[in-house]
Amino acid sequence: MLKYLLKRLLALLPVLIGVSILVFLILHLSPGDPAQIILGPKATQQSLDALRHQLGLDLPLHRQYFQWITNVLKGDWGRSIQLKREVLPLVITRFKATAILTVFAAFIAVSFGMLAGIISATRQYSFSDRFLMFMALVGFCLPVFWLGLILQIIFGLKLGWLPVSGMYPPGQTGFGSMLPFLILPGISLATGSMAEIARMTRSSMLEVIRQDYVRTAKAKGLSQRIVTYKHALRNALIPIVTVVGMQIGFLLSGAVLVEIVFAWPGIGTLMVNGILARDFPLVQGTILFVATTYVFVNLIVDVVYAFLDPRISYN
């Protein structure tokens, strides 16, 4: 297992390097001058040149990249041009809010998605099966930002049950105070993943419950609950875990749109503001941080396989 983990960690390096190069080139080759944005349209050429030199923007592109990636490896992710703060502590602080939203959405998606898939598989072709799969199809097709706006209008503006923006009430902190603000963005973010997990759970469970060992368990007189959750579900988890791992990336990317709609103070809002301000260090840092998180989640998913299925070997 340790040897496998070391190989996977080494394999992650080319992926992260490729992401860093791609992000760097997209930002630096796109139109717009950060110095002009910072100093405004009335800035003199002398002041613009001085600021470009200070930011290192007058260096050749390859030298700018190597200077940036070398500093990143040393723990220096640069300084935000717009906010005048170190990028790494700022990204970590904002990522905590994004992580809370993502984990809450993942909990909703996995819990209700797997439950819906199990019910559909154990009651194949029934009304429950057809209704749940129809709802899964609808949920899969709904755009995240559109669903968020609809939930805001219905439950926030019309009914007044839940807040529609922010993370805490004024002057309050703690999960209890945060929970009402978390429900609508969490549901908006979780709906698409929940639908995908429900469809995969149904498909995987249908394949497993037709196996001989499941029929043997039933023949022994075990209850339907034990057969379903102890014998069938565990053996159906491998493809489900794969989908859940892939959905983490979807949730992280979808969080950007949800955070904008609900004014959630996470890394998505930070990244969008950085893009609008042409804040190169900030945008590069946020995207690299999210990419690193995603590839490590995939590594964790691979490790979980071994605990779910003893037949899998990493030697």
* Percent of the residues in the chain that have a pLDDT greater than 70, as a whole number: 95
Residue 83 above 70 pLDDT? yes
pLDDT confidence of residue 304: 73
Residue 214 above 80 pLDDT? no
Residue with tokens 């057969």: 227
pLDDT in tens, 245-298: 778 777 887 888 898 899 898 888 888 888 887 788 888 888 888 888 888 887
Specify the amino acid at residue 307: F
- Give the CA distances from residue 189 to residues 24, 128, 278, in Å, rounded to whole numbers and listed in that order: 28, 24, 27
Residues 6+ apart with CB under 8 A from 169: 163, 177, 181
Cα Rg, the chain, nearest whole Å: 24
SS3 164: coil
- More confident of the two residues 230 and 119: 119
pLDDT in tens, 21-79: 888 888 777 776 777 777 777 778 888 888 788 777 778 888 888 888 888 888 888 88
As a whole number of angstroms, the longest Cα–Cα distance in the chain is 86
Pick the CATH number of 88-279 from 3.30.200.100, 1.10.3720.10, 3.30.1330.10, 3.40.50.300: 1.10.3720.10
**Backbone torsions φ then ψ of 102, nearest 5 degrees:** -65, -45
Q: Which pair of tokens denotes residue 275? A: 């893009």
47 in Cβ contact with 312 (< 8 Å)? no
Q: In the predicted model, what is the mean pLDDT of the chain?
A: 84
Residue 91 above 80 pLDDT? yes
* Percent of the residues in the chain that have a pLDDT greater than 90, as a whole number: 18
Residue with tokens 């154990």: 122
Residues 6+ apart with CB under 8 A from 98: 252, 255, 259, 264, 266, 267, 268
- DSSP string for residues in 57-117: TTS-HHHHHHHHHHHHHTT---B-TTT-SBHHHHHHHHHHHHHHHHHHHHHHHHHHHHHHH
pLDDT confidence of residue 111: 92
- Rounded distance between C-alpha atoms, residue 8 and residue 2, angstroms: 10
Across 187-219, b (16+ Cβ under 10 Å) vs e yields bbbbbbbbbbbbbbbbbbbbebbeeeebeebee
Q: Where does the pLDDT of residue 154 fall: very low under 50, low under 70, confident under 90, or very high at 90 and above?
A: very high
Q: Which pair of tokens denotes residue 173? A: 């902190």
Residue 147 above 70 pLDDT? yes
- More confident of the two residues 307 and 201: 201
The total number of residues written for the chain in this structure: 315
Residue with tokens 């049950």: 161
- More confident of the two residues 102 and 209: 102
pLDDT confidence of residue 75: 85
- More confident of the two residues 242 and 64: 64
- Rounded distance between C-alpha atoms, residue 166 and residue 164, angstroms: 7
Fill in the DSSP letter of residue 165: S
- The predicted model gives 156-165 an average pLDDT of 89
- More confident of the two residues 116 and 26: 116
Least confident of 102-106, 114-118, 180-184, 293-297: 293-297
- More confident of the two residues 160 and 311: 160
283 in Cβ contact with 27 (< 8 Å)? yes
Name residue 86's beta-bridge partners: 79
Q: Could you tell me the residue ranges of all domains in the chain?
A: 32-74, 88-279
SS3 35: helix
Residue 310 above 70 pLDDT? no
- The predicted model gives 95-124 an average pLDDT of 91
- Give the CA distances from residue 260 to residues 90, 201, 253, 309, in Å, rounded to whole numbers and listed in that order: 18, 31, 12, 40
pLDDT confidence of residue 308: 63
Residue 227 above 70 pLDDT? yes
Task: Record the pTM.
Answer: 0.82
- More confident of the two residues 169 and 229: 169
